[in-house]
Structures are given as C-alpha cells and as structure tokens.
Structure 1
Amino acid sequence: MSFSAWFKAHYDEKGPARWLAFLLEVVSASVLFILMALTCVDVLGRYLFNSPLHGGTELTEIGLAVMVFAAMPVITWRGGHIVVDLLDRFLGSKIVKALSLLAALVMSSSLYFLAWRIFELGERSIRRGVVTEFLGMPSGYVVQYIAIMSWATALGMITYGVYRILFQDKA
C-alpha cells in the first residue's frame, strides 16, 4: 500500500486539516518513542551502571506535555473524547443536541481563557528567566506551547466539533 493510499484511508479530514492532524500525530508518536527510549536508557543506567540519566525526569515531564498537547487538538477535532450518554435515550434528540452544543461552548471558551492565562504565565517565565532544575532549559516555551495547543483545541471544538454535533446524523 502506498503512502497516499494509506493516508487517505486513515485520515478523514479534508484539506490542510488532514496534514495538520498527520503532523500532530507524528509529533505525538515520535515523542512517545523518544520517551520509551529515554526510559530504557534511564533504567539500564540505573540498574546496570548505578548511574541514572541526569535530567531524565525533566525530559520525561516535558515530553509528556508535548505528546499530550499535540494529540489533544486532533482528538477533540475527531470527537474522540469519552462521552457519558446514560440519559441520551431518555431525553429527546433535540435536548441532547442542545446539551452537546452547550458543552462544546463551555469547553471551548474554558480552554480559550485557560490558554490565555497559561500563555501569560509562559511569558512571565521567559521574562524572569525560569529554567528547569537539572538541565537549565527555559520552561516558558513549553508553557507557551501548551497554551497554543489549548487554543488549537478550543478552535477545533468550536468549529468542527459544533459542526459534527449539528450534522452528525446527516454526515
């Protein structure tokens, strides 16, 4: 199977959103692989040579942040979050749609304002020169990355997420 056939089979998004989803998933998968290798090196160093990987904990924390927040916009865009639908069969479809739209609005606006505050904290960390404890890496850039990915998630929820809620029966 060629890459383009595989790509079209596994990515339902249209246009640039397809490539953005692919890029974010490649970032997330690559970081996950690096975290796995980092953990192996740290464990081998710890138990075979009695010398753990210095800064391994910091690299793991940063890697987890990069991985989770790279996947979050794609999962939100696709509607892949866990949904509890215990009352859906008792409520009418119009009420369920209204509640879903309300939830999408609350989630996207919450993420937007939360990302705004996170970005400000990242700016403050950069201004003050805050660095990680062992490796001395500036932590503000990771914090700003989290804010940007949260904005992307909010945008995905308020645009295509709402579109899916409104037209999921017709699509």
Structure 2
Amino acid sequence: MSLSAWINQHYVERGPAKWLAFSLEVAAAIILFVLMGLTCVDVVGRYLFNSPVHGSVELTEIGLALMVFAAMPVVTWRFGHVVVDLLDRFIGTRILKVIGLLVALLISSSMFFLAFRIFDLGARSILRGVITEYLSFPRGYIVQYIAVMSWVTAFCVITFGVYRILSQEKK
C-alpha cells in the first residue's frame, strides 16, 4: 500500500488539510521518539556511568514545546479537546450550533491575537540575543515557532472547525 493510499484510508480531512495533519502528526511523533531516546540515554548515563547528557533538561523543554504546538492544530481541528456536555441533552441543536460558533470564534480570535504578542516577544528575544542557559540556543526562534503554530491553530478552528459545526446532523 502506498503512503498516499494509506493516508487517504486513515485521515478524514480533505485536500491539503489531510497532508498538513499527517505531517504535523509525524513531526510530533518523531519529536516524542527523540525525547524518549534522550531520556533513556540520560538516565543510563546518569546512573550507570555518572555522566548525564549535557543540556538534556533544555532539550526536553524545547522538544515538549515543539511537540505540543505541532499537535495543537490537529487536535483543535478534530475537536479532540476535553468537552463537558452536561446540558447538551436539554438544549436544542440550533442553540448548540450557535454556542459552538461563538466558542470557535472566541478560540480562534484569542489564538490569533495571542500569537501576535508571542511573535513580538520572540522577535524581542532574538534582537536582545536571549539564549538558553546550557546549550546557548536562541530562545526567540522557539517562541516564534509557538506563535506560528498558534496562527495555524486559529486558522484551523475558524475554517474547518466552523464547517464541522455547521454541518453537524441532528441527533
């Protein structure tokens, strides 16, 4: 089975969104695998050879940021967040759609404007030359990556999220 056929079989998204979801999930999986390997090597080095991996804490922090914000657009796109639906049985579907649209608008606008502020903070960090403590990696690039992924998340919510809310059938 080819990669394209496998993706078509396992992903519900359409068009370029399918490939975006696949690539973001692959990136998150690779980062998670690298973090697992780093942790194993660090623990073995620390306890068996009394020589831990230099900068492993920073690498783990950076890896977690990269992984979480790579997965965030896909999780948000698929409505994978925790939802409390205690009152859904008592509220009509039209009201639920209106509430869903308002929530999608609130989430996307919050992510959009928050990303501007985060991007500015990253640019300021780059201009000031702020680096990590042990590895001397510029922090601003990671912060700007977080901003870009927040924009992608906002775009995913406002496009496909709203489409899914409007196309929901009656239960």
Report Cα offsets for 1:57-98 as digits up to 9, x if no partner: 000000000000001111111222121110000111111111
**Take 2:158 and 2:21, find their aligned partners in 1: how far apart are those partners?**
17
Task: Map 1:5-154 onto structure 2 (within 5 A).
Answer: 5-154=5-154
* Cα offsets for 1:7-54 (capped at 9, x unmatched): 111111111111111111110000000000000010001100111111
Secondary structure at the residue paired with 1:135? coil
Count of aligned positions: 170
Matching residue's letter, 1:84? V
Query: Identity, % of aligned pairs?
Result: 69
* Greater than 3 Å deviation, 4+ residue runs: none
CA-atom RMSD in angstroms: 1.1
How far off its partner does 1:152 sit?
0.3
Matched to 2:21, the amino acid is A
User: Aligned partners of 2:145, 2:3: CA distance in 1, in Å?
Assistant: 29
Report the 3-state secondary structure (helix = DSSP H, G, I; strand = E; otherwise coil) of the residue aligned with 1:4: helix
Task: Out of 7-16 and 37-46, give the one that drifted further.
Answer: 7-16
- Give me the whole-angstrom Cα distance separating, in 2, the residues matched to 1:70 and 1:115: 14
Structure 1: gaps of 5 or more residues? none
1: CA distance between counterparts of 2:76 and 2:103? 13
CA distance, structure 1, for counterparts of residue 149 and residue 5 of structure 2: 29
Residues in 2 aligned to 1:40 and 1:95: alpha-carbon distance in whole angstroms: 50
Letter in 2 for 1:39: T
TM-score (norm 2): 0.96
Equivalent residue letter for 1:43 = V
TM-score by length of 1: 0.96
Letter of the 1:24 counterpart: L
Report the Cα offset of residue 2 of structure 1: 3.6
Alignment deviations for residues 146-166 of structure 1 (CA, whole Å, 9 cap, x no partner):
000000000000111011001
AA aligned opposite 2:33? F
Once residues 154 and 4 of structure 1 are traced to their aligned partners in structure 2, the CA distance between those partners, rounded to angstroms, is 27
**Letter in structure 1 aligned against 2:75:** I
